[in-house]
Every structure is written in structure tokens, then in C-alpha cells.
Structure 1
Amino acid sequence: MKKLKNRPLATQIWIIFTLVIIIVFVLLSVYFSLTIRSFFTNEIYKTIETAQEKLIQKSTGGYDLNEEENTATVSNDIRAVKHMRLNYNKSEANIVKIQKIIPDNIEAESFLKKLKKQVKSQTNTTQRYVQSTSSGRILYVMRATGINKKGNFEISYMWDTYRNSLYTSLIGRLFSVMIIALIICLIGAKYMAQKLVLPLRELQGRVKKIGIRQWHESIDIDRNDEIGELSKSIEDMRKELVKQDEYEQTMLQKTSHDLKTPLMVIRSYAHAVEDGIYPKGDLKSTMKVIDYETQKMQKRVNGLLYLTKIKYMSKYKNEFKKTNIKDLAEGIIESFFYNNKGIKFEIEIEDIKVIGDEEQWTVVFENIIENGLRYAKTLIRINIYEDDKQQYISIYNDGEKIPDDRLENIFWAFNKGNEGNFGLGLDIVKRIVSMYNGSIKAQNEDSGVSFIVIIMK
């Protein structure tokens, strides 16, 4: 089996098919051989019994056979049913009759003794027997009449040669047909093995292309079996890889663009200061601009690092403790309570615990609230509650509604609104919530927008 596993799949399938077909062929050969031999034996006996019965019906009170005429043609006509009448007490006359078919005297005497024992022990009027002789096998039916079974008894017989001739002829033809069928089956098995492996080879070629990042050609194998399911899974994987590649390319482009602007500002201001020029009028104001741009870059880099961290953590199953969301939320809200826009907070929080890391839930609240502060006009309302199956976090702001075409992709990375910074905050929120088997959605209200987080208990 180990050697078989190292062979091509088509060869493995063909070998298995071949072994199964050969085993079936051998079993059928044995079965047909035994069945056909038994069938012909039974038919020969039926022929003998029918011939004997017809002879008895034609006779009127006994019949006298011309033994010399009948036995003279025994060796020439293997299909003829022969008859002879023997007497239980006339051994010499019986031997003479038996020697017509069994010439050897000793063998004839032995057969006669056997016949006498058989007729004596026979319980039915007729009984089937077989005798092996030097000349061949004799199939015979013995008819015994009389209460004491010491009178005459009739024997009707045929040589086994006829049965063997029929058996050999039929079994030879049957084996010829079976061998032809076996060859056809082996060829068919070879074809089917190649046919089954063909889509797998196609998938192998596609997967190799995906391995070298040539994944823009779709995989479409029109099958509804396991191979079709495998191709669909590979196609889903390909789409996800393409999506991930596009995401990485977009992230690289966006990051390069977002870092390029502050770097240009910092460099130009630094060169100006070096030349004794202060774009903001004095050194202190000019350095504040450089510091501000540096902070923007730092915040951008920190966001990217945290996003990478979340991606890494989401790949592994971790055992998280439960966090008291009420204490956490109230502490975060307090830090935003006195904001420069004069936004009011309304909170209604149940004392519940959610599964997850406290630091990550802090990021979730901070990012959503910061996003709300950028768009809210006067109010941010926070509700946290639960039912029998789920826990809910709803953060509402009374800012402008989100266009319907952006509701679905608002959580994509680098998707910034008019007041957005880098477009990473809500992407990080979604990844954290998803890591805890939760979901988040943005929902337009009558006068504002709600971000709703749903967590399974």
C-alpha cells in the first residue's frame, strides 16, 4: 500500500479498479463453473429418469432389452440413455451384462456388489447414483420394485462424457465472453481513472499559478460532486487572496500618500529653519507645525501596527476573559465628556460583562466615539444592554446620514468620510468585533446615524 500511495492518482485508481474487476471475475468464474456443472448433472439425471419412465410406460407387464444391440453403441453415442435389467440372484448373468459397459471383470464384480447394496438400502422407487470406472464416470438411475427387493431391478444410465462435453463447450464460450468483458472493463477503468484525475490536474495547475500570485483567472469546473466542491473552495480562496492583495496594494498606496504629505511639510520647514526662515513667523510656531505633522505620522504608524496586530491575533484561537463593559465604557466616555465642540452625552448602560480583552474593547469604544464626535452636531447617545441570547452596544450621533452606497463599505480600510483622518479606525473596530464572533453595522436613523455592535453570549 505504501508503494501504491507513491504512484500517480490515476494509476492508483486504475489498479484498484483492476483488482476489484479481477476478484469479481474469479468469483464469477468459480460460481458459474460450479453452477453450470451442477445444472448439467441435474439435467442429465432428469433425461435418464424421463427415458426410464417412458420405457416403463411402453412395457406391458415387464420388458426384455436386447442388451447386445444397446450396449454395442454405448461408446459411439454419448447422448443415448441405455437400460439394463439385473436380477438380484443371478450374479453371472448380471456380470455379463455389466461387462458390456465395464469390460474389466474385477471392476465389473465390484460394481455389481455396489449395485446390490444400493438396491437393498434404497428407500425410494428410483434413486440417482454415480460410478467412476476406468472407462469414465457413469450417471445412472436405479429403479427397484418389489417389497423384498430381491427380484429384478432396472438401471438406466448415461456416460459422464456427454455432460463434460456440454460443460466444456459452454464454459469455454462463457469464459471467452468474460475475458473480452474483462479486457473492456480494464480499458474502461483506465479511461475512467484518467477522466477522474483530469479535473484534479487542472486544479493542480491553477493552484500552482495561485502560488506564484497569478490568481486573476477564475476557476470554474462545471461539476456537482466532491471535485466541484473542491474547485469552489479553491475559487473562494482565490477571491479572498485577490481581495487581500488588493487590500495590501491599497494600504501601501494610501500609506505612502498619507506619509508623503507630512514628510514634505517637515522637510520643507526644516530646510527653512536651517536657512533662518520661519514660515509661521517665529521659531516656536514653526516647530509646532513640525511637531503636529510628526504626531500625525506617529498616529498613522501606530494605527497600521495595531491593525497588523489584530490581523495576527484573529488567526489564532485565544481564551479571553470577560470584561465589565459598564465600568470600561463609563471611564472612556468621561475622557470625552469635556470636548471642544460642546457635544452632550446621554448614556444608558446595563451592568453586563462581555467576552474579550479590555484593551481591545477600549479601542472599539474610542474609535467609534471619536468618529461620532467628528460628525455629531449636539448629541452622542450610548446604550448598552442584553437579552437572553445577545448583547448590544449602540452608539448614536445626530450628525448627517451616511449615503446608502457607503453603508456597506464604511468599515473597509482607508474608506474615509469628509471629516475622516486615515480610514483605519472603523476597520480596526470591525476586526476586533469579528474576532469575538460579533458583528457591527452602521444604520441611518431619522436624524443621525447609529453604530450597533451585536455580541453572542
Structure 2
Amino acid sequence: MNNKKTSLSNQLIVITLTALLVMIVSIIIVLPKSLEPFFEETVYSYLDQPLQMIEKEDSLTKKYKNIAYIIYSDDRILISEDYKNILGVDDYQKLLKYIVTDQGKFVYKGNNYYYSVNHKGNNYKTIAITTDSYIKFIRRNSLGIVIPIVIITFAIILILLFLWSRIVVNRLQKLKLKVDNMNNEKFYVAKSKYEFDDEIMLLDKTIDEMKEIILSQDKYKSEMYQNISHDFKTPITVIKSYIEAYHDGIEPYDEVINVSEEQIKKLENKVKTLLELNKITYLQNSYKNDIKTKIITTINSTIDKFKIVRNDINYLVKCDKGDIFYDGTPDMWESITNNILSNFVRYAKSEIVITIKENKIIFFNDGEPIEKEILSSMFEPYKKGKKGENGIGLSIVKGNCDLIGYKVIAKNKKNGVEFIINKGTK
């Protein structure tokens, strides 16, 4: 489906012209019909006021604009002298048969007539009668006042809307420029002098925040690629150097094989950790957190593996009760525990303590404190301490915790370091 391209200004003009058309129709057609009862009441008031003054026959010689008078007195019918000019008829008695109430209107030969009757007694009454010329006069005067006021008001509103639309369009165009240059760190848009704290301002701030996030992610990706390249290049360079040394007769064959195997294992571990980190990223939008793990079982199983690596450390597990279950699969919690303990065994002096509570696990080691400059960012990829290996393990811990709705933080304690995992908001 092809959408017709129309600017906001043109849309506003179309809407305004439509509103103008509706307004004109309302003023010319709807408004007069709506005011018709009011006009008629005005006519009846106009007829009633002079009726009080007509009490004698000589009153008929007085001329009242657009009004003819008829007097019934002692079986006589008298009428004002200028009735023919006012009513447009030669025989006024043809009109009398339509006067059946004290007040009303009727149509005679296509003309509208209005009348009002004033009773002075059983044998005396006066009738005031006129055509619709007075109503037409009132209607013309009323519309003559209303229409210019409405047109002027509408013109002022139209000008204000046009100016407002130009400001809005300019602000939106600047937002479009910002979005088009989202990845351009050097791009800058000067602030307009017409700035309002409204939805567009909120959108503007959101775009700026998004740009900061995107630039930060780009920077992070660039640094990560550089680190990955360096991590992969180092073992390959070592293997290549030893092979060249072997060909030059400097290193023996067995030494080359041993070093190559060692470097290949390092490469294999790096590939595994990268694949695990990539898996976490892939699962962020699709993982269903509907599996629970008996945490004490997973932690004890992981500790058994690290007792071989550092058998000089005292491993202590404290648990409120044996059947505490945490959200997430056993594989996830094995990865979390494995990467934390892998970090701890490099720093711990003599003790690693794991305290398990409802919705909270505290990992403690009595090693050196974490450097302050990396304490708040150590769970980001490639943030390494003094004895760090590849800088990915703790980012895997954070990735898994985020995935299953937990938060992980690190704290320096007086006699060691704590990693705390809390139940948080996913």
C-alpha cells in the first residue's frame, strides 16, 4: 500500500479549510434555523409593545414601521391607513380568517405573516400584524455582526495555528536529523529558541539518551573486538614462534608440542566463553524463566571441581535450609558459580564462604580487595583485575543473572571481597 506523502503544514491547511467550510455552512444554514424561535419571539415583542398605545380610533392614523393595526370595536372593524403598503394585500379581511389565536403566524400567497391580539374587553380588541420583513431585518443584522467576528476570530486562530505548525515542523525536522545521524558522534543540532517542555522535548531527550547508548555500545563493541583479536592473536603468535624456533633448531620437538597444546587449550577456553556470552545475548529476548534449580546441589557440585584446583583453601557452604530453589536452569547456575569460583580461587588466601538464603547468595573470599577503578564495572566484558585472565567470566555471571531476574554486585569487605546475588527485577 502506497501512502501519499503530505507535510504536516499541508495537513493542517486541509483540516483548517474543512473546519472553515463546516463553520460557513453552520453560520449560513444551521445558525439561522437554530435562532428562528428567538427571532419569532422578538417579532411578537415588537408587535406587543405598540398595542398598548392603540386605544382610540385616531391612533390608526399613526404609522408604525412595518406594522399594520386592526381594531374590533362595537361590531366595527377599523384598520390602519397604510396596511396595503405594509401587508401587500388589497383586501385585509382575507387575512382575518387566519387569526384564530392571541399570537401566531400564517402563510398567505407565499408570504409569511405574524400577528398579536390584545383584548380590551368583550367588544374591543386590537390586532397588530406584520410580514416577515422584520425577521429578515433582524437576521441580516445578527449575521452581519456574527459573521465578521467569526471570520476575524478564525483568521487569528488560523495564523496562530500556522505559526505553531511551523515551530512544530521545525522541531520535528531537527529530531529527524538527530535520528539520521544517530551514529555520528560529531553531529550536533543547536537548540531552538522555541523550546517547550512537552512531548517533543521528551522525545528529543529520549533520542539523545538513545544516541549515548548507541555510541557507548559501538565503543564497547570496538573495544571488545580489539580485545578478542588480541586474545586470539597471542596464543597463535606463541605457537607460530615455537614452530619457527623448532625449524631453526632452537627448541626441541617435545617443548613445541607441549607449548602448542597449552596455547590451544587457552584458545579453546576463550572460544567456549565467547560462545557462552553470545548464547546469553541471543536468549535475552526469547528465554522463558519457568525452570527452578535446587541451588545447594549445584554449588556443592561446582565446589568439588575447584577443590582439585586449590586444595589448600577451606570451602564452607552455609544454607538456611536444604531445599531452597532459585529461578533458572542448573546449567545457568553452574555457569554462574563456576565463573565466580574461577575468579575466587585466584585471589583467595585460605577461605571461600558461600552463604545461601531465600533469594540471596553471598560469595566471600579472604583475598585482596578489588581495585576501586574497576569495582563498579568489573562485570562488563574485558574488565580485568591484576590476576584476571580473559575478562569475560564475570560478564557471563552478570548476563545469566540478568536473564533469570537476579542482580549481582561486588563489595570490598574489611577482610576480603563479597559477590552478592539478589533477586531483582528482570
TM-score bracket, normalised by the shorter chain, equals: 0.7 to 0.9
Alignment of 1:13-162 (within 5 A): 13-20=12-19, 22-24=21-23, 26-27=25-26, 30=29, 32-34=31-33, 37-56=36-55, 63-65=56-58, 67=60, 69-70=61-62, 77-78=65-66, 81-87=67-73, 89-90=75-76, 104=89, 108-115=92-99, 118=100, 122=101, 127-133=102-108, 137-146=112-121, 149=122, 151-162=123-134
For residue 167 of structure 1, what is the aligned residue in structure 2? 139
2:243 pairs with 1:270: yes
From the superposition, tell whether residues 455 and 114 of structure 1 become closer, same or farther in structure 2 (CA, over 3 Å): closer
C-alpha deviations, 1:287-308, integer Å up to 9, x for none?
2122212222222222222211
Checking the alignment, whether the CA contact within 8 Å between 1:346 and 1:381 is kept in structure 2 is yes
Larger Rg over CA atoms: 1
Alpha-carbon distance in structure 1 between the residues aligned to 2:381 and 2:368: 21
Alpha-carbon distance in structure 1 between the residues aligned to 2:225 and 2:103: 97
Query: Given residue 416 of structure 1, which amino acid in structure 2 is its aligned partner?
Result: K
For residue 348 of structure 2, what is the aligned residue in structure 1? 376
- Between 1:96-105 and 1:335-344, the stretch displaced more is 96-105
Deviation at 1:64, TM superposition (A): 2.0
Correspondent of 1:337 among 297, 301, 307: 307
Alpha-carbon distance in structure 1 between the residues aligned to 2:82 and 2:201: 79
Correspondent of 1:403 among 341, 361, 371: 371
Mark the runs of 5 or more structure 2 residues left unpaired by the alignment.
none
Alpha-carbon distance in structure 1 between the residues aligned to 2:255 and 2:154: 95
- Between 1:248-257 and 1:335-344, the stretch displaced more is 335-344
Correspondent of 1:394 among 362, 386, 394: 362
Alpha-carbon distance in structure 2 between the residues aligned to 1:66 and 1:340: 130
Query: Given residue 65 of structure 1, which amino acid in structure 2 is its aligned partner?
Result: D
Q: With the length of structure 1 as denominator, give the TM-score of the two structures.
A: 0.81
Q: With the length of structure 2 as denominator, give the TM-score of the two structures.
A: 0.86
Alpha-carbon distance in structure 1 between the residues aligned to 2:293 and 2:245: 51
Alpha-carbon distance in structure 1 between the residues aligned to 2:177 and 2:289: 40
2:233 pairs with 1:260: yes
Alpha-carbon distance in structure 2 between the residues aligned to 1:313 and 1:38: 73
Correspondent of 2:279 among 309, 321, 326: 309
Q: For this pair of structures, how many residues does the alignment match?
A: 420
C-alpha deviations, 1:157-189, integer Å up to 9, x for none?
444324422321331342233234334433433
- 1:417 counterpart SS class: coil
For residue 154 of structure 2, what is the aligned residue in structure 1? 182
Checking the alignment, whether the CA contact within 8 Å between 1:14 and 1:193 is kept in structure 2 is no
Query: Given residue 258 of structure 2, which amino acid in structure 1 is its aligned partner?
Result: K
Deviation at 1:335, TM superposition (A): 0.9
From the superposition, tell whether residues 184 and 102 of structure 1 become closer, same or farther in structure 2 (CA, over 3 Å): closer
Deviation at 1:22, TM superposition (A): 4.2
From the superposition, tell whether residues 361 and 102 of structure 1 become closer, same or farther in structure 2 (CA, over 3 Å): closer
For residue 227 of structure 1, what is the aligned residue in structure 2? 200
From the superposition, tell whether residues 155 and 244 of structure 1 become closer, same or farther in structure 2 (CA, over 3 Å): same
Deviation at 1:66, TM superposition (A): 5.9
Q: Give the fraction of aligned pairs with identical amino acids, expressed as a percent.
A: 25
From the superposition, tell whether residues 326 and 102 of structure 1 become closer, same or farther in structure 2 (CA, over 3 Å): closer
Alignment of 1:422-437 (within 5 A): 422-437=390-405
From the superposition, tell whether residues 370 and 6 of structure 1 become closer, same or farther in structure 2 (CA, over 3 Å): same
From the superposition, tell whether residues 200 and 162 of structure 1 become closer, same or farther in structure 2 (CA, over 3 Å): same
C-alpha deviations, 1:16-63, integer Å up to 9, x for none?
35434543554455564246554444334323322222444xxxxxx2
Structure 1: 4+ residue segments shifted above 6 A: 2-5, 93-98, 218-221
Alpha-carbon distance in structure 1 between the residues aligned to 2:162 and 2:134: 42
Deviation at 1:333, TM superposition (A): 0.5
C-alpha deviations, 1:334-392, integer Å up to 9, x for none?
11113346111111234212121222211111110010010100000111121xxxx11
For residue 59 of structure 1, what is the aligned residue in structure 2? none
Deviation at 1:418, TM superposition (A): 0.7
Deviation at 1:313, TM superposition (A): 1.1
- 2:57 counterpart SS class: coil
Checking the alignment, whether the CA contact within 8 Å between 2:280 and 2:399 is kept in structure 1 is yes
- 2:309 counterpart SS class: coil
C-alpha deviations, 1:199-253, integer Å up to 9, x for none?
222222221222xx32554787854322233223322322221111111111111
Query: Given residue 64 of structure 1, which amino acid in structure 2 is its aligned partner?
Result: E
Checking the alignment, whether the CA contact within 8 Å between 1:442 and 1:451 is kept in structure 2 is yes
Correspondent of 1:243 among 216, 224, 237: 216
- 2:385 counterpart SS class: coil
